[in-house]
Structure 1
Amino acid sequence: MTDVLTPVLSKNWGDDRAWTLQAYEDQGGYQALTKALSMAPDDLVTLVKDSGLRGRGGAGFPTGMKWSFIPQDDSAAGNKPKYLVVNADESEPGTCKDIPLMMASPHTLVEGVIIAAHAIRAKRAFIYVRGEVLHVVRRLQAAVREAYAAGHLGSNIHGTGVDVDLMVHAGAGAYICGEETALLDSLEGRRGQPRLRPPFPAVEGLYACPTVINNVESIASVPSIVTGGIDWFGSMGTEKSKGYTLYSLSGHVKRPGQYEAPLGITLRELLELGGGMREGAELKFWTPGGSSTPILTAEHLDVPLDYEGVGAAGSMLGTKALQCFDQTTSVVRCVLRWTEFYKHESCGKCTPCREGTYWLVQVLQRLDQGQGQPGDIELLLDLCDNILGRAFCALGDGATSPITSAIQYFRDEFEAGMHTPSSELFPPVASTLFTPVGGAA
């Protein structure tokens, strides 16, 4: 099964001091930049567009198309500067792909940033990182310093007349800043809250200037496309979801971790690569793209993990965070934990999300404690219906997805919450991943 893997972004993760410029260049690093600087910006945009690269941050929007939205007619843009912003505020519960990428090979991202900035004619770029991951911030800053010293960043890069400056910005730990417009507000020094659209960032983004905002993995994939070409990239993945990607496998599996594979691989195949479920475990439910996507069950083991396949199954590929839960896990308790997170991280700007997540937690807590009231399940569904599509950003929608899908597949567990605590039906010690201190699980 190992031949299923396609190590491109992760090929150098195990190398000695892979994060240094020397190690990266020894593996062919920055050759893509040399080639990209010899190309016209419009040709780079066309290359990425024709490659079929889709955003790896969740929505799957075509990356090259997003770049093409930047107005290049100076009169139309009011002769404003253009900016590139990399969304490295990875915060989705269960998602862990961008942080290991930046830790192991920060220059992969830096090279992608320079190429992308050249493509959209931006002279300044930003990487917005979660403030809690200080080790990642420091590693990125060290890589940026190395790139400046080597002449890969700054003025007149490699004597081509291209200027790109890059700044690493540490956020303050708000999940909402993963939403691109809230990220822009935070980057400008304001409280991170989503903006009303239109205008869209491509027209009025950072400092009211044309801005492209892309996920870490999206930008880090660009150098390999420049080097390998359209046909090479398209040889992996599916017709509409091309290329390779990083899948985060976690939960009740033997070997959790990052698995880089072509889009369209199935969870059954990934579980085989990960050694399967832990001893005595059977897959009960799983998330295909983080906790904000509708859950799926064991009957979906052979669903192609691409945007179309997962969408047809009633969920979203999202961040490709595959959290696998076995038969010892209470669906009610799990959904409650996720909802508590969304309640805590709501920015409070809009009523449906601010008030709705509060009431969702209240009802789920009753059911978790075995104190549910008649009509609670219908109340949950009604609350979700009033949040879905009515919140200011996607946080509200994401908070409802695991609840409605959990009721769809495991309604009996919610009904049991009318009389029996979930801790009795599913003792927490049975589903724990780690042995408690001072005793056996």
Structure 2
Amino acid sequence: MDNFRAAGADPGTLLGMESEDISGYSLRRGLGSGSAGTVWLLRDLATGRHAVLKRIPKTAVVAPSEFIGDLDLAHTIDHPHLARLLEVRESDQEWLLFSQYVAAGTLTSLLERRGALSPGELVTLISPLAQGLSALHRSGLTHGHLDLDDIMFDADGRPVITDVGLRALAPPSTPAADLTALGAIAHQAGGTPKTFPASLFTTTADVLAQQTLHRATPLPISLNFTQEPEPTPAPPSPAMSLRRPQPPGQRRGGFRQSALKFLRTKRAAYGILAACGAGALTTLAIGLAAAGVLGQPAPNPTAAVDKPSTPPAQPTRATEGQWLQTLQALDVRRSHAFATLDPTELNSVYVPGSSPWSADRDLLSSYRKQQLHIEGLRLQIHSVTVETQGKTTVVLRVVDRFIAGVAVTPAGRRTTFPPGKPTTRRVTLTAAANTWRISEIAEA
């Protein structure tokens, strides 16, 4: 394309398109050809974001009225695991479909890079895809030609189904055929008949999305890039509750610098966002909630924190349950601090001046500068064990996992943080002014 500009020619005209055909977009480069015809990368001049142009010859469309009806339906669907159809234009010779750009390549490319997925990775892949198919089927559409090349990954590692609304270009299909195709994809990606039997894919997409969660523990999908894809910039993850503090030599100003470095390099501060060599875990919030994985609701923070009971000399099940409630209540308070961007609220979560207090204040400060509010920040605590305890100090061995949080910009754009893996930490609580606060966090 740069050669076309240098020669003073209009790239669209040289490619057989009039300039008005792609008005509002800048043509970047060809992406190849597939079931939808030729595919091109564009930049939306209004937003600066990338988009994909699919050029479909009119001769490829046998039933134009059905084709147009399907595109109208597809345009109404907004689902995180279905590539959005942004706009449809018609020229004398072809249909021009402008769609969401999915940055991190196809499932075919991923398998060529790194080989088969593990059972846990397949759960992270198949359950969200089934959710996407469910949304598609509820709208009255089917995909019709689902294969490895139709599954792509966005910059956060989320699997996305592309070519939605193009069933008219393939033989007639049914929702059951889509699920059969998804079963074939699961096996091609590394699933075995024992873990992902064919019978699993003979139900509805909704049921499949839930049943898949019981096949194995969801794990991050390693995208295995030697170079990063072009991601959508995202803020550093606030998955810091019960987090190990940074080494003293790096902590002074280091967290803010690493957050700014993330914005420059578009890498995530939290390791399971899509980045070079790091896994990316798809948000399975709907499915996990239905499967009962998200844990207990947080208790009233005043009841659990401001009125703690003094643990007896020997821990009991009830005592450890009390400390679980205390930690859950502290996490509720931390969530409220990030939602309001009020650093003073952290004083009721941590001992002021402690390492975790400083790290969270630095993170919250970076969000304030970016004008990002963090909604629904939540931690799941799997287990709490009392290691040592005294009148004013208790040391707990805690297994926890970051499970929820959404960053919201002033313009209302929402970025969902991916869940984390269970981590074991040693958390020290200190009593002061009739309340318990976190004073230290270390790896267990």
TM-score, normalization by structure 2: 0.29
Q: Flag the structure with higher strand content.
A: 2
Q: Flag the structure with higher helix content.
A: 1
Q: Relative CO higher for 1 or 2, CA cutoff 8 Å, sep ≥ 6? A: 1
TM-score, normalization by structure 1: 0.29
